[in-house]
Amino acid sequence: MRPSIMTRALVTATAIAGLAAGTLATAGTSVAAAPQAPKEAVSAEAFGTLATNNLGLSATQAKNVQRWLAKYYDYNGSIDGLLGTGSWKAMQRFLAKYWDYNDSIDGIAGPNTIKALQRFLKAHYGYTGSIDGIAGPGTQEAFKRFANWAGTI
């Protein structure tokens, strides 16, 4: 065995014995654990692909929106049913063109993105709430109506 593996095994066995005896007083001082290599930080790009916000849409409904965005607003990501950064950037381009979105095209579905989306949904998909930037139940239901419509084109 390599020394670091043996050291870890010994530390683990000592800790278990200490717990079984009801104390860890001797476990921490008899053997020091081998230092571990620092973990790599997750890049912003990797995080962006993981950050999704479907606003209550099912995967099928989100795919409908992605197909619509691909057809009209230069979405070129996967049609995977996960509205991530790329999907929201395309949505922001649409909202900037027609619905008073005037923030950065960053792919984050923040309050300004939601406000512009609410203006769109209020005009065409039965949203009756206030333009408040909060994606509550009314916003989500109207977004579902849009997504279902998008699946018909």
Same domain, 10 and 61: no
pLDDT value of residue 35: 54
Q: Both 139 and 87 in a single domain?
A: yes
Q: In this structure, is residue 10 part of a structural domain? A: yes
**Residues 16 and 77 placed together within one structural domain of the fold:** no
**114-145 pLDDT tens trace:** 999 999 999 999 999 999 999 999 999 999 99
* Three-state DSSP class for residue 101: coil
Residue 84 lies in a domain: yes
pLDDT in tens, 97-110: 999 999 999 999 99
Helices (H), 22-135: 27-30, 44-50, 59-72, 85-98, 111-124
Q: In the chain, how many H helices and how many E strands?
A: 7, 0
Quick one: 94 and 21 in the same domain? no
Domain total of the chain: 2
Q: Which domain holds residue 30?
A: 1-39
Q: Can you tell me the mean pLDDT for 37-42?
A: 48
- Tens-place pLDDT, residues 56-96: 999 999 999 999 999 999 899 999 999 999 999 999 999 99
Same domain, 135 and 102: yes
Instruction: Name the DSSP letter for residue 151.
Output: T
**Contact indicator for 81, 60 with CB cutoff of 8 Å:** yes
Same domain, 66 and 134: yes
Higher local confidence (pLDDT), 88 or 19 = 88
Same domain? 27 vs 58: no
Is position 81 within any domain? yes
Shared domain for 136 and 95, answered yes or no, is: yes
Tokens describing residue 97: 């063109």
